[in-house]
């Protein structure tokens, strides 16, 4: 068992190769083989153990001794204060019983049955957006399709007015990007929390048939009702997580398909196989590109390395999803692959609560797009600058298409 840190710790994050914008850094292939748990220096100013093998990542994400107290992204923020306690209601950062309490309140809203009931609505808005795109000779697939669909769905679920989307989409993007300065991030956060706080005030006074109102009612039946601050944090989490991730997956998946005509033909010929196809795209793309951050509350061994209490770890899910011991020929996108065991939604207690919704949105969006616009193609080669290499969620800023 080793625990020695090298004197010179390499910097994290690594970078994507120019040769393929869908691949993570080639260094992961070497790390998985030779140094599966290795020390890196994160932008937040701490050193962490980078865990790159699939099996070790699953072990990290299920170990109760490894805390989520610094949200999944905080290792990437140069200004992050890692000593701060998580805000009340921050489910992604909560541990143990506090996490279980928040998760119990939400889980009933995201059952497979409830999500399947949304399928006709998702199909309807998908068709409406394609109708609108077909009015012109081309479109920006991000603004005209990939972003509106999950945004509309999460607004409908939460009871957030879709007319307010310009502001909340902008503020979400600032929060999950790492380019804005501290003042801009704080302003975006204040606006989002203020906005949800106001909506929650309205629901407390006058409940409706929406997720926020049901959440309030459900928590009131327990011995610890949610405070307005907890409610606002849960609302912001769902609003941001509910549209950014899926929007990036829809746009990026479309680009992968347009650049892999054989795979595109596979899905076009058999849209009933959209389920496994979406799992493979989730594996291949791993849009939570900088991995998941954890904190050791006790000494723990990970992949033969001794991690001490007080040390940090990064579970590199984009590497685990390319682990050749689990997925043969991992750098090839193969829609026929059985990839449902992927780590794109995380693993363990914090595994994505919205995964079933995201799956349905991606399945409907991609199959409908390919069926209704069979001649879909890129309007121009996409410049490197359009790829979100520095954002917590990988994606493209725009995707000009024509048909
Ligand atoms: C393709 C789309 C999505 C991806 C790739 C994704 C990815 C993830 C990942 C990796 C985690 C685990 C974080 C951790 O362990 O630290 C997570 C958690 C979470 N996701 Fe998603 N997500 C997606 C869509 C959604 C949607 C649509 C919603 C809500 C409507 C959502 C809500 C959440 C919430 C609330 C958590 C925290 C769960 C917990 O801490 O118990 N996500 N997601």
Q: How much is the average pLDDT of 379-385?
A: 93
Domain map of the chain by residue range?
Answer: 27-402
pLDDT per residue as tens digits for the range 181-235: 889 989 999 999 999 999 999 999 999 999 999 999 999 999 999 999 999 999 9
Ligand 1 center–CA 283 separation, angstroms: 15
* CA of 292 relative to ligand 1 center, distance in Å: 11
CB 154 less than 6 A from any atom of ligand 1: yes
Distance of alpha carbon 243 from alpha carbon 168, whole angstroms: 10
Atom 18 of ligand 1: nearest residue by CA position: 352
pLDDT on residue 203: 94
Model pLDDT for residues 89-100, shown as the tens digit of each residue: 999 999 999 999
3-state secondary structure 52-113: CCHHHHHHHHCCCCEECCCCCCHHHCCCCCCCCCCCCCCHHHCCHHHHHHHHHHHHHHHCHH
Q: Is residue 72 lining ligand 1, measured as CB closer than 6 Å? A: yes
**2 has pLDDT over 80:** no
- Region label for 348, one of left (φ > 0), alpha (ψ between -120 and 50) or beta (otherwise): left
What would the CATH number be for the domain defined by 27-402? Answer: 1.10.630.10
Distance CA 146, CA 144 (A): 7
User: Is the distance from the beta carbon of residue 285 to the nearest atom of ligand 1 less than 6 Å?
Assistant: no
Q: Answer yes or no: is the C-beta of 281 below 6 A from any ligand 1 atom.
A: no
Residue of the nearest CA to atom 25 in ligand 1? 354
State which ligand 1 atom lies nearest to the alpha carbon of 238: 29
Q: What count of Cα atoms within 13 Å lies in the side-chain half-sphere of residue 268?
A: 17
Confidence bin at 5 (pLDDT 50/70/90):
low
pLDDT tens, position by position, 81-135: 899 999 999 999 999 999 999 999 999 999 999 999 999 999 999 999 999 999 9
> Would you say the CB of residue 292 lies under 6 angstroms from ligand 1?
yes
Kindly give the number of the ligand 1 atom that is closest to the alpha carbon of 293. Answer: 16
- Counting residues of the chain whose pLDDT is more than 90, the rounded percentage is 86
What pLDDT was estimated at residue 6? 59
**Token pair for residue 4?**
């020695």
Q: Is 352 helix (H, G, I), strand (E, B) or coil?
A: coil
CB 321 near ligand 1, within 6 Å: no
At residue 7, the pLDDT reads 59
Distance CA 193, CA 82 (A): 21
């Amino acid at each position: 068992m080793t625990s020695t840190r090298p004197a010179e710790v390499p910097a994290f994050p690594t970078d994507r190769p120019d040769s393929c914008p869908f691949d993570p850094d080639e260094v992961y292939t070497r790390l998985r083989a030779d140094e599966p748990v290795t020390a890196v220096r994160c932008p937040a100013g701490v050193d962490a153990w980078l865990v790159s093998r699939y099996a070790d990542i699953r072990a990290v994400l299920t170990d109760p001794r490894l805390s989520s107290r610094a949200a999944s992204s905080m290792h990437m923020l140069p200004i992050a204060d890692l000593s701060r306690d998580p805000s009340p209601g921050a489910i992604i950062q909560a541990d143990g019983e506090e996490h279980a309490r928040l998760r119990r309140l939400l889980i009933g809203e995201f059952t497979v049955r409830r999500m399947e009931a949304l399928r006709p609505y998702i199909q309807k808005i998908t068709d409406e957006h394609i109708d609108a795109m077909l009015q012109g000779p081309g479109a920006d697939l991000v603004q005209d399709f990939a972003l509106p669909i999950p945004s509309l769905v999460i607004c409908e679920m939460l009871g957030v007015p879709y007319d307010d989307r310009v502001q909340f989409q902008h503020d979400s993007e600032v929060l999950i990007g790492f380019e804005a300065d501290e003042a801009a991030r704080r302003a975006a956060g204040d606006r989002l929390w203020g906005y949800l706080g106001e909506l929650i005030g309205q629901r407390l006074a006058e409940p409706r048939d929406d997720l926020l109102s049901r959440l309030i009612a459900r928590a009131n039946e327990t011995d610890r009702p949610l405070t307005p601050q907890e409610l606002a944090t849960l609302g912001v989490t769902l609003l941001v997580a509910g549209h950014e991730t899926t929007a990036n997956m829809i746009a990026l998946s479309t680009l992968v398909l347009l650049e892999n005509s054989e795979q595109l033909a596979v899905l076009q010929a058999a849209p009933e196989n959209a389920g496994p196809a979406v799992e493979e795209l989730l594996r291949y793309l791993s849009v939570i590109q900088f991995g998941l951050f954890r904190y050791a509350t006790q000494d723990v061994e990970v992949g033969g390395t001794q991690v001490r209490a007080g040390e940090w770890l990064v579970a590199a899910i984009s590497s685990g999803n390319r682990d050749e011991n689990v997925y043969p020929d991992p750098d090839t996108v193969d829609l026929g692959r059985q990839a449902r065991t992927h780590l794109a939604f995380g693993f363990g207690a914090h595994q994505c609560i919205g995964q079933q919704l995201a799956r349905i949105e991606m399945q409907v969006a991609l199959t409908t797009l390919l069926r209704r616009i069979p001649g879909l193609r890129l309007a121009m080669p996409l410049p490197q600058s359009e790829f979100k290499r520095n954002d917590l969620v990988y994606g493209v800023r725009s995707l000009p298409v024509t048909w």
